[in-house]
Chains A and B, each alone.
Chain A
Amino acid sequence: MTPVSLKALFGVSVTLGILLGLEFHVDRTPAVQAYTSYLSQSEALNAALARTGVLTRALAAGDAQLHALEEVSGHARVGLVDLRRELVHLEKQAGLTPLSGPGVRIRIAFDPKLPTIAGLTSVDEATQLQMVVGALQAAGAQAVAINGQRLVATSSIRSVHGLSASADPFSGVVQVNGQPVLAPYEIAAIGAPDRLAAILTAEALGQQFNILEQSFAVSLFRRGPITVPAYTGPLPGKYATEVGM
């Protein structure tokens, strides 16, 4: 075989190798599918990266708590101090301490000047109030109270029919946290005031109350502070056990 033939064979072999590499390594997914997959994978990647941060912080908090408990078990006073610090943090998150900050205050009151739906004699006002609270929470409210009753995870709002001889569709009394709360209702919420007000407008909650002869006045506290009290009702945990105990 001549040197020229050898060079040609070498060139052909290298080219063949490149072609084989391309054949097995190039993604031949259709463009639309590729872009869709790319976007969904990128979104999943961003979420996974964010979750790494959340998990890292949770792990750091767990490590700190474990350290405190280990010190307590070793009769070190500093461990108890750390546990109490964690308790303060958790109580704030759970609604067991008062909270102040910017927010909104909504006053719902009977107004006979407003129109009402003909023939409507009663409305489940607890459902109406739950709707307002749900909207505020969806808009990022950190804390909500109705007539001074702080709402926590286990809170309930319940209509009490027949306890009031009210002239309007509302009976004028509900139970919040099992405690009677009389109209007019004042809902205080801490959070970004404009965002909280915007969701109330977007859901047309004012109009929904107005057709039930209820005025719906929203006051914004941009600089605040508006204060919601601490929850003082019974604490849960009689039936629930923490996983792992």
Chain B
Amino acid sequence: MKESPRTATNAPLRRRVVGSWTIVAAVFGLMVSVQYHDVALGGAAIWSALPDVSSVSARLAAVDNVNQALRRRESGVMRNILALQSDALRRGGATALVERQLHAARVLAGTVALTGPGVVVTISDGRMSGPDLAQFLTHDWDLRSVVNELFVAGADAVSINSARITAQTGVYCIGPVVRVGNMRLGPPFVIRAIGDSSVLAAALNLPGGVLDALRGANRGLHVTRPQQKRRIRVPAYEPALFAQTGEALP
């Protein structure tokens, strides 16, 4: 049967229409599956019994962004506070007296990050060369002895890694790590102390003193010489995220 001239003319157009609708239908199908996964099921995968990691990751990223924004706002507020405090101290009077007391209380309470001259010493576990593993690990009493010596020598503030030492900070071994306040820390333990750097270094370098005891032949811990620095930074105390009962703190 011979095709009419009209049908022959419409054939390419018809093929294009069919092709277009095929693409549209395929995209529609793709959208249906993605939409069903992401919206109708709230991110749950019905075709998989596995947990939906991506949805948790997305929430985590969102909360991290919020936290970063809060940190930026907090540091901005802190800058303004410190500027006004400096101003108050310059002007003198009752406010300056309160500000001086506040400075001492903040340093002692550990609520602010501090900078100043000081020393840095790092303690790492030794290499096990004998049967007594405990000898080659850094223990809570090792860290306590160094921190104690630094305060005997007049340190203003001390931190171990990112944990600031406060009146409530316990240094306590819990299995493979050392808990310092709320933080679980592993080696190397970087101890930073703000104070008269030459006095702090001399106290630590005392022959037969705390560092020599840690370097003793039967321990094998790696203990660096105290490095005197013109400026070091000690972080602020970070409060516990969760109460010990497991509830979020108020």
Q: Which of A52-60, A102-110, A111-119, A210-218 contacts B (4 or more CB under 8 A)?
A: A52-60
Residues from chain A with a CB closer than 8 A to the CB of B221 are none
- Which residues of chain A come closer than 8 Å to B212, judged between CB atoms? none
Would A244 and B88 count as touching, CB distance under 8 A? no
| A163 beta carbon closer than 8 Å to chain B | no
A51-B241, A55-B67, A239-B117 as given contacts; A17 in contact with B106, CB under 8 Å = no
Tell me the bound Cα distance from A223 to B112 in angstroms: 34
Chain B hits for A45, CB < 8 A: 56, 59-60, 63
Query: Nearest CB to that of A142 among chain B residues?
Result: B168
User: Interface with B: A152-160, A164-172, A180-188, which one?
Assistant: A152-160
Please measure, in the bound complex, the distance between the C-alpha atom of A91 and the C-alpha atom of B111, giving whole angstroms: 11
Partner of A80, one of B56, B82, B87, B95: B95
Q: Which residue from B22, B45, B113, B170 sits with its C-beta under 8 Å from A136?
A: B170
B112 partner residues in chain A, CB cutoff 8 A: 242-243
Q: How far is the CA of A238 from the CA of B110 in the complex (A)?
A: 15
Query: B117: nearest residue on chain A (CB-CB)?
Result: A239
Question: Which of the residues A14, A87, A236 comes within 8 Å of B25, measured between beta carbons?
Answer: A14
Q: Does B155 contact A (CB under 8 A)?
A: yes
- A198 CB → nearest B CB, Å: 12
On whether the beta carbons of A83 and B29 are closer than 8 Å, the reply is no
Q: Is A13 an interface residue (CB 8 A)?
A: yes
Asked if A21 is at the interface of the complex by the 8 Å CB criterion, the answer is yes
Q: Which A-chain residue is minimally distant from B88 (CB atoms)?
A: A72
Contact B82 A244 (CB under 8 A): yes
Q: Is A98 an interface residue (CB 8 A)?
A: no
The closest CB in chain A to the CB of B91 belongs to A73
Q: A134–B171 contact, CB under 8 A?
A: yes
Q: When A65-B81, A94-B108, A236-B107 are in contact, do A9 and B179 touch as well, CB less than 8 Å?
A: no
What is the CA–CA distance of A58 and B81 in the complex, to the nearest angstrom?
Answer: 13
A123 to B32, CA, bound (A): 76
Closest to B37 in A: A25
Contact B144 A134 (CB under 8 A): yes
Given A66-B81, A80-B95, A156-B152: A53 touches B102 (CB 8 Å cut-off): no
Contact of B148 among A48, A93, A130 (CB under 8 A): A130
Interface centre among A45, A73, A240 (most CB of B within 10 A): A240
Tell me which of B47, B51, B94 has the highest count of chain A C-beta atoms within 10 A of its own C-beta: B51
Q: Is the CB of A38 within 8 A of B53?
A: yes
> At the interface, yes or no: B134 with Cβ under 8 Å from chain A?
no
CB distance from B152 to the nearest CB of A (A): 4
Please indicate the chain A residues that have their CB under 8 angstroms from the CB of B141 in the complex: 127, 130-131, 134
B11-53 residues with Cβ-Cβ distance < 8 A to A are 14, 18, 21-34, 37, 45, 47-48, 50-53
| Residues on the A chain within 8 Å of B225, using CB | none
- B104 lies within 8 A of A236 (CB): yes
Q: Is the CB of A22 closer than 8 A to any CB of chain B?
A: yes
In contact, A245 and B85 (Cβ under 8 angstroms): yes
B99: which of A15, A83, A241 is its contact (CB, 8 Å)? A83
Pick the residue among A54, A93, A95, A241 that contacts B249 (CB under 8 A). A54
Q: Which chain A residue lies CB-closest to B114?
A: A240
Closest chain B CB from A140 CB (angstroms): 6
Q: How far is the CB of B137 from chain A (nearest CB, A)?
A: 16
Q: Is B105 a contact partner of A94 (Cβ separation < 8 A)?
A: yes
Q: Does A69 contact B (CB under 8 A)?
A: yes
Establish whether residues A13 and B29, one from each chain, have CB atoms under 8 Å apart when the complex forms.
yes
CB distance from A50 to the nearest CB of B (A): 4
B 213-239 to A, binary, CB cutoff 8 A, 1 in contact else 0: 000000000000000000001100011
Contact A80 B152 (CB under 8 A): no
Which of chain A's residues have a CB closer than 8 A to the CB of B111?
90, 93
Check B101–A87 contact: CB distance below 8 A.
Answer: yes
Residues in B whose Cβ lies below 8 Å from that of A84: 98
Q: Chain B residues with Cβ under 8 A from A22's Cβ? A: 33, 47
Instruction: Give the Cβ gap from B164 to chain A, nearest Cβ, in Å.
Output: 8
Sample 5 A-B pairs with CB under 8 A, ordered by A number. Answer: A15-B29, A22-B47, A52-B66, A66-B84, A241-B114
Query: What are the 3 A-B residue pairs with the smallest beta carbon separation, nearest first?
Result: A17-B29, A137-B170, A21-B33
